Amino acid sequence: MDATIPSRQKVMKDHKDAGGFTAAVFPIHYPRPLFRAYNVLPVEVWGPPKADPHLWEAHLQTYTCSVIRNGLSFFIAGGLDGVDMLVVPHCCDTLQGLGSILQNYLPQNKRVLTLYIPRDSREIDINYLAREMKILSGRIGEVTGTELDESKLIKCIDEEDRSNAIVGRMFQQRTQLSCSDREFYEIIRSREYLPADAFITLVEGFMARAKNQDGGRIPVVISGIIPEPMDIFNSLNGIGLTVVGDDLFTTGRRIYSRSDSTDPWTRMSEMIIKGPPDSTRGNFLTNRVKYLVDLTKESGARGVIFYHVKFCEPEQFYYPALKKGLENAGIPSVLVEAEIGDPLPGQVVTRLEAFKEVIS
Amino acid sequence: MSILSAVSFNWKVNVLGKAFLRFERRRGEWKMRKPYKKQNPNLAPLLKSVPYLKELISTHYLHGRYADTHKKVAWVTSGAPVEILKALDYFTLYPENHGAVCGVRRQVVELSGVAENMGYNRDLCSYARGDLGSVVSGKTPVGRLPKPDLLFCCTNICQTVMYWYQVLADHFKVPLIMIDTPFIYDKVTEHEIEYVKKQLEYAIATAERVAGKSISLKQYKKVGIYAKDAVLLWNEILDLCKHRPSPISAFDQFFYMAPIVDMRGEDHAVKFYTQVIAEVKQRIADGVGAVTNERKRLLWDNLPIWYEVRRFAEVLAEKGYCIAASTYTHAWGGDMKHIIESIDTTKDDMDYLLSMLASAYLHAILNQSSGYKLNVMLKMVKEYDLDGVILHNNRSCKPYSLGQIDQRDRLMNEYGIPTILLEADHNDPRSFSEEQAMNRLAAFIEIVENKK
Ligand code: SF4
Ligand code: SF4
């Protein structure tokens, strides 16, 4: 299945060779279509695992999450040298710190663009984010030296809507797709760097080929930040579990629904603000609990795996309420922690095996 | 409030309680006239206003004990625009301040344990853990905390408060107002001010609904004047520490900032700080320094280590070191002070006043970039004539601490200012190694001494 997914480097190079720009985007929420409308390829930086694990030590404390530690190491090591701009959405205190460090202390010849994601979902928040995006747009224009073509923006938003819909369909049809979880996620996560049209083509091809799951594995929901190391899926499948519902930052929490607005800025803003309930956007605990319980029930999962990255405060704060809410709904859960860049700890596998016994 | 509970409240708080606390204050003041036998020779005697401060804080918590029987109660974050609640006559309680009290009394490990057993990770802010543990267990060193009718948080200090207050809202089943202040990487723009102002308007509507009354411009202005006066007086006290020897140290400031946090917008804070200024000026006139033999002056960055304040003060004073300034106690200084100072409180224009309020609270030091904080520190080093900087690398507080490694490198390498990163946690002693801290402090002192 791997052979069908073009590599990140190749996609970036092809895009540059064709006269486009590239942006390295740190987590979590940002308006993909806006970048695409400027012919900028946004490439997400979720703590690349291959960076020298010590470079961050010159700037970050040990109690920083590995998403940001590795992302910064990757940047320092020159892994982002080829991009035209860096983008740091403000989604948590750690990203806030990273944005400052990049802007204030690290020498570079590229712009660091920031974007504040509001923590509520009222009309004023939607308007605020729409305005933030307009400011961001101006800054992207400064870097690229081009002007925004609004009709192109609308086209890119439409494409993004289709891309969101197709990821939603992938999850709905997960149990009918004959592939391992790892293959499934490799396809989905290619969205972190593929343009929407290429991504849609890739997924459509995949869905046409991958049919008739043979079943037999116990369905679970995965909740947390990022499925790294990806070996987690080998382990899950190896012990007889399969992911049918996704509440991860990288994937499920960014399946934005379509906005009815006719204004492109409001559309992009609503996409994010009305997205699935999320800790970093400060959604109420009760909304998060309901969402997770519904997701588990609707996907037919028998339990939830909280797959946390160490030191991720937003997730850590919601966890007790989510655990309790699931318990009240009769849904078992387990919490495991991993670090990006480290091998999957044996202890995690042992806990998952024990969890399987509980939900069997 | 029923007649019976009104009588009971007045009797317990306004008659018995206040009389007792006034008596305690007088007793404290009287005792201070005599030399204190255990007086540390390296430190100035306690400020004469300490009994007054104790009375103020105790009265605040005494009111808090019974507040929910006669007033609407709001739990509030330290950097929240509390003026609107004060104008609606809420009793405001500050869980962070309560957290500091728990820290000083070394109760955080026990309280945090309760939260940790519920699943809250030990890596979360120890203020939040301690508070949640206190709420669930009902344990507190101040007797009793009043149940909130409203929760009011502002993200201008951190995102932690947003999560923490959500848990509180879920626990108490009361409305939560969150003022979301976009983080300032560069300059505050009209777009941000407008956004925060609109949120303040929403907040007023909710606070009015809970209070069952409307905000009056007259009352709001009165509160605004008290708040402005208190901020300016507090800054004046801090400015007096530019004097050599510094009349008070940051260790005094850490405790003396309680009224600017808890009583901003009330006349008590204004009266108290007016008296403190007179006392501090008298110290200057008498040539009294917080450290008797002040040789070197330092800056403290980040929250204090509440459970070790006294020890740090003594260890440093023994070497003739005074921490004359702190970014933490200057939280109402800098840009924020300038904006508050510029507010025209005579204007009968709520729109204008709310815009200014939004602007002031957006400019909180913790809501601005690490580079901005570095510049604040450099300015303070210059203005207070400081010899070095202690950056408390506070495990609990990411917004304060991330960026400190670069700040240290810049301060030392670019500006030649001796600087250390001191690992600890402001409230949880389990993340503090005394031996390691003292060794690092000794090494730092050596660097300061050797600097030409
Ligand atoms: S949300 Fe969590 S994992 Fe993501 S950057 Fe913030 S702290 Fe790290
Ligand atoms: S100590 Fe830091 S993280 Fe904790 S509440 Fe205060 S500002 Fe927020």
What is the residue range of A141's domain? Answer: 8-148
Chain B residues in contact with A131 (beta carbon < 8 A): 191
Nearest to B213 by CA among B149, B148, B261, B262: B149
B319 CB neighbour count, 10 Å cutoff = 17
Query: Once rounded to an integer, what is the mean pLDDT over residues B75-95?
Result: 96
Number of domains in chain A: 1
Is the per-residue pLDDT at B273 higher than 90?
yes
Nearest to A44 by CA among A32, A56, A57: A32
| CATH code, A62 | 3.40.50.11890
Cα(B300)–Cα(B404) distance, integer angstroms: 12
Distances (CA, A) of B348 to B199, B219, B222, B231, B353: 20, 11, 12, 21, 8
Q: Which positions ≥6 away from B390 have C-beta within 8 Å? A: B298, B299, B300, B301, B323, B419, B420, B422, B444
Instruction: Please report the pLDDT score of residue A2 as a whole number.
Output: 45
pLDDT 10s digits, A131-190: 999 999 999 999 999 999 999 999 999 999 999 999 999 999 888 888 899 999 999 999
Q: Is the residue at A294 inside a domain?
A: no
Cα(B337)–Cα(B205) distance, integer angstroms: 27
Q: What is the value of pTM for the model shown?
A: 0.95
Instruction: Please report the pLDDT score of residue B6 as a whole number.
Output: 76
Is the per-residue pLDDT at B1 higher than 90?
no
Chain B residues in contact with A310 (beta carbon < 8 A): 123
Query: Once rounded to an integer, what is the mean pLDDT over residues B362-371?
Result: 97
Of all protein residues, the one whose alpha carbon is nearest to atom 6 of ligand 1 is A92
What ligand is nearest to the CA atom of residue A94? 1
In the structure, what pLDDT confidence band is assigned to residue A341 with cuts at 50, 70 and 90? confident
Q: Is the residue at B260 inside a domain?
A: yes
- Is the distance from CB of B264 to CB of B303 less than 8 angstroms? no
Alpha-carbon torsion angle B356, B361, B364, B368, nearest 10: -90
Q: Is the residue at B447 inside a domain?
A: no
Is the per-residue pLDDT at B346 higher than 60?
yes
- Taken in order B52, B56, B61, B63, the sign of the CA dihedral is positive
Q: Which of B116, B120, B166 to mutate to test the interface with A (most CBs of A within 10 A)?
A: B166
3-state secondary structure of B52: helix
Q: b/e per residue, A340-358, with b = 16+ CB within 10 A?
A: bbeebeeebbebbeebbee
Is the per-residue pLDDT at A225 higher than 90?
yes
Q: b/e per residue, A81-103, with b = 16+ CB within 10 A?
A: eebbbbbbbbbbbbbbbbbbbbb
Q: Is the residue at A272 inside a domain?
A: no
In the structure, what pLDDT confidence band is assigned to residue A212 with cuts at 50, 70 and 90? low
Is the per-residue pLDDT at B403 higher than 90?
yes
- Is the distance from CB of B131 to CB of B99 less than 8 angstroms? yes
> Is there an atom of ligand 2 within 6 Å of B127 CB?
yes
Instruction: Please report the pLDDT score of residue A213 as a whole number.
Output: 62
Nearest to A333 by CA among A188, A194, A191, A224: A224
What ipTM goes with this model?
0.95
Instruction: Please report the pLDDT score of residue A196 as a whole number.
Output: 92
Nearest to B405 among A60, A94, A104 (CB): A60
Instruction: Please report the pLDDT score of residue A87 as a whole number.
Output: 98
Task: Report CA(A65)–ligand 1 centroid distance (Å).
Answer: 6
The residue of chain A with its CA nearest to that of B408 is A59
- Is the distance from CB of A93 to CB of A60 less than 8 angstroms? no
Instruction: Please report the pLDDT score of residue B439 as a whole number.
Output: 96
Nearest to B123 among A98, A122, A311 (CB): A311
Instruction: Please report the pLDDT score of residue A256 as a whole number.
Output: 96
Instruction: Please report the pLDDT score of residue A324 as a whole number.
Output: 97
Instruction: Please report the pLDDT score of residue B388 as a whole number.
Output: 98
CB contact under 8 A, A317 and B166: yes
Based on the number of CB atoms within 10 Å of its own CB, is A61 exposed (0-12), middle (13-18) or buried (19 or more)? buried
- Is the distance from CB of A46 to CB of A226 less than 8 angstroms? yes
Number of domains in chain B: 1
B176-179/B296-301 β-pairing = unpaired
pLDDT 10s digits, B213-262: 999 999 999 999 999 999 999 999 999 999 999 999 999 999 999 999 99
Based on the number of CB atoms within 10 Å of its own CB, is A1 exposed (0-12), middle (13-18) or buried (19 or more)? middle
Cα(A67)–Cα(A65) distance, integer angstroms: 5
What is the residue range of B274's domain? Answer: 3-299+333-366
- Is the distance from CB of A77 to CB of A15 less than 8 angstroms? no
Is the per-residue pLDDT at A214 higher than 70?
no
Percent of chain B with pLDDT over 70: 100
Q: Name the strand (E) or helix (H) holding A219.
A: strand A218-224
Query: Once rounded to an integer, what is the mean pLDDT over residues B116-136?
Result: 96
Q: Is the residue at A32 inside a domain?
A: yes
Q: Is the residue at B278 inside a domain?
A: yes
Q: Is the residue at A110 inside a domain?
A: yes
In the structure, what pLDDT confidence band is assigned to residue B37 with cuts at 50, 70 and 90? confident
Instruction: Please report the pLDDT score of residue B12 as a whole number.
Output: 82
Q: Is the residue at B433 inside a domain?
A: no
Query: Once rounded to an integer, what is the mean pLDDT over residues A312-321?
Result: 97
